[in-house]
Chains A and B, each alone.
Chain A
């Protein structure tokens, strides 16, 4: 009786099979962004950073809900003082939220996406992309998309959520007013997210270590704010345009038409209550920050990848 053939634990047991791509080839940016976020999600620091952002959203949500309910139940009570002048308007809460969340989002994006380009360079993984049909534009878009999804999730999406809550629970008269607040609030949040994304990716393109990029990015933001605010207080108003958060605050306040600060806001010691004088110059400042990030990314890719 013939012995059964011996099965060998050798390679290519299955054998090579050809493959035909189904449909049109997909573009690379989305897989790049998704993979970057999947990898980031596996880190504990990512979860911690997102928890911090969630806390800010929670505080803003509580403030907004409390304020609107207070207005709702006191609107027919004939109080001697306008409730909005005491606890602030919804616009003020939105503006305050975008300002505060800008900083927490800066930390989150630095932690999550600080190494988006830097780690590729350090690990020699640029070849992994550019040996495939991925152009420099695809790569840049993939990295910007991956990084940009972080502030989108921490800044833009919560702004949308807060707006929906505000419109939903506000008294009918105020509801109609808040309905039109959505577009400028979301535009302000999107502008903040765009500036954070481009500057972070630009910083990452200039570095080679994820942690160094993250720390340098957050530290630069804080130092710029501290020095800029100090100079403004000393009468050098031009320095206010060098602070991204102050520029954003100016644009946000203009978009949301934030008026005089409420009594509650004035009770909190906050040196940066007043925005820059010129909205257009602040907008130009933000565009310059974003442009610097994009220029750094483009320059780096042109240096490292010849075609």
Chain B
């Protein structure tokens, strides 16, 4: 098991950073997803043993992170969000130094440092002092520093923040590479859904210091299987009223003849057919909505998206007639 949390609470002054965090998560790449201030970084620091929770137990890779923080850290790599650099050291020296702090010998850490900087794509600029680096270059160095001692799990705290699209793309590629090519497991903290969707196979969603969802991404999407797009031959206000009477949530779809229906718990698509039969409307199209991660995320954090019609510009365009 990668991570397991049981009733973790942490309060800073009047702010409850973590409020009874409980959850188990496993996978090769796990997204720690949540809006700013959700408690992601605090939870990561609890995993590292940097922050001692007021209550609860955190188990990382089977080791109690509260009782044995140094033992846990030996198996973790961490790329913090903040600057966290030693001015004056070059990129290579920084990575080698990180290796030495993890118990590696000088020469061993230098060789490994070159390997890791090759991996993250930092070329001859590795010999320049880190304070001359761009944000993207320094993010790469931080990832290399986290990987240098070959950890079992690497924690990346907002690694793509402040990066240009190309650098962001490359960093996400690297996470995918680690996931698919025998690298350490990755815990990716981010508030960007796209990053998680692209790189992770499991997700833990946090809001206000609490876990709202923990499990595989596929499970998160399944949660929205009760939502359907319904199209009728002509606009059908009676069908809408009938479905609402049956406790379904109904909102207009993208077209006048379309409805978006969220069925009540336990109901199946038969409910739509029965309602249409009772109102005499002809249903020409009934399809479960493809759940986007964004919808699932919003639903998980309680900010369920309002079922509103998309703007006309998003309507499907009719096929153009052939010319000539």
The interface residues of chain A lying within 8 Å CB-to-CB of B177 are 11-12, 15-16
Query: How far, in angstroms, from A134 to B101 measured CA to CA in the complex?
Result: 7
Residue of A with least CB distance to B116: A16
Range of interface residues on chain A? 35 or more
Query: Contact between A35 and B97 (Cβ–Cβ < 8 Å)?
Result: yes
Task: Give the contacting residue for A133; candidates B102, B108, B178; CB below 8 A.
Answer: B102
A25 interface neighbour in B49, B88, B103, B145, Cβ under 8 Å: B103
Considering the complex, give the chain B residue whose CB is closest to the CB of A36. B86
A270 at the A/B interface (Cβ < 8 Å)? no
B96-153 residues at the A interface, CB under 8 angstroms: 97-98, 100-106, 108, 112, 115, 118-121, 145, 147, 149-150
Chain A, 119-149, contact with B by CB distance < 8 Å: what is the 0/1 string?
A: 1000111011111111100000000000000
Chain B positions within 8 Å of A, measured between CB atoms, are 48-52, 66, 69-71, 73-74, 76, 78, 80, 82-89, 93, 97-98, 100-106, 108, 112, 115, 118-121, 145, 147, 149-150, 170, 173-174, 177-178, 181-183
Distance of A20 Cα from B105 Cα, bound (Å):
12
The digit string for A7-32, where 1 denotes a CB below 8 A from any CB of B, is: 00011111111111111111110011
B174 and A31 within 8 A (CB)? no
Chain B residues in 8 Å Cβ range of A127: 50, 78, 80, 82, 84
Contact A306 B52 (CB under 8 A): yes
Of the A-B pairs whose beta carbons lie under 8 Å apart in the complex, a sample of 12, sorted by A's number, is A24-B103, A26-B105, A31-B100, A39-B86, A124-B80, A124-B84, A125-B84, A125-B86, A131-B48, A133-B71, A133-B101, A133-B102
Name the residue on A nearest B148 (C-beta): A19
What A residues does B88 contact at CB under 8 A? Answer: 39, 42
Given A128-B85, A131-B76, 8 more pairs with CB closer than 8 A: A12-B119, A12-B173, A22-B108, A25-B74, A124-B83, A127-B78, A128-B98, A133-B73
**Which residues on the B side are within 8 Å of A130 (C-beta)?**
48, 50, 73
Given A17-B115, A135-B70, residue A129 in contact with residue B101 (CB < 8 A) = yes
Q: Is there contact, CB below 8 Å, between B80 and A16?
A: no
Which of B49, B98, B121 is in CB contact (< 8 Å) with A11? B121
Residues A31 and B106 in contact, CB atoms below 8 Å apart: yes
Is B182 a contact partner of A26 (Cβ separation < 8 A)?
A: no
Cα distance, A27 to B74, chains bound together (Å): 12
Contact of A124 among B82, B115, B118, B174 (CB under 8 A): B82
B74 smallest CB distance to A (angstroms): 4
Which residues in A have their C-beta under 8 angstroms from that of B86? 35, 39, 123, 125, 128
Contact B69 A11 (CB under 8 A): no
A303 within 8 A of B: no
Task: Please indicate the chain A residues that have their CB under 8 angstroms from the CB of B112 in the complex.
Answer: 19
A26 nearest in chain B by CB position: B103
Interface residues of A (CB under 8 A from B): 10-28, 31-32, 35, 39, 42, 119, 123-125, 127-135, 305-307
Partner of A26, one of B48, B87, B104, B120: B104
> What residue of chain B has the Cβ atom nearest to residue A132's Cβ?
B101
Q: In the complex, which residue of chain A has the Cβ closest to the Cβ of B67?
A: A307
A129 contacts across to B, CB distance below 8 A: 101
Q: Cα distance A39–B90 when bound, in Å?
A: 10
A32 touches B121 (CB 8 A): no
A23 to B150, CA, bound (A): 15
Determine the chain A residues whose CB is within 8 A of the CB of B119 once the complex forms: 11-12, 14-16
Chain A minimum-CB-distance residue to B107: A22
* B213 CB → nearest A CB, Å: 27
Chain A residues in 8 Å Cβ range of B89: 35, 39
For the complex, what is the distance from the CA of A10 to the CA of B149, rounded to whole Å? Answer: 23
A128 and chain B: residue at smallest CB distance? B84
B78: chain A residues at CB < 8 Å are 127, 131-132
Q: Is the beta-carbon distance between A133 and B74 smaller than 8 angstroms? A: yes
Do residues A16 and B50 form an inter-chain contact, with CB atoms below 8 A? no
Report the separation of the CA atoms of residues A22 and B99 in the bound assembly, to the nearest whole angstrom: 12
Tell me the bound Cα distance from A11 to B71 in angstroms.
31
Q: How far is the CB of A19 from chain B (nearest CB, A)?
A: 4
A contact residues around B52 at 8 Å (CB): 306-307
Nearest-neighbour CB distance to chain B for A33, whole angstroms, equals 11
Known: A133-B73, A133-B102. A10 touches B121 (CB 8 A): yes
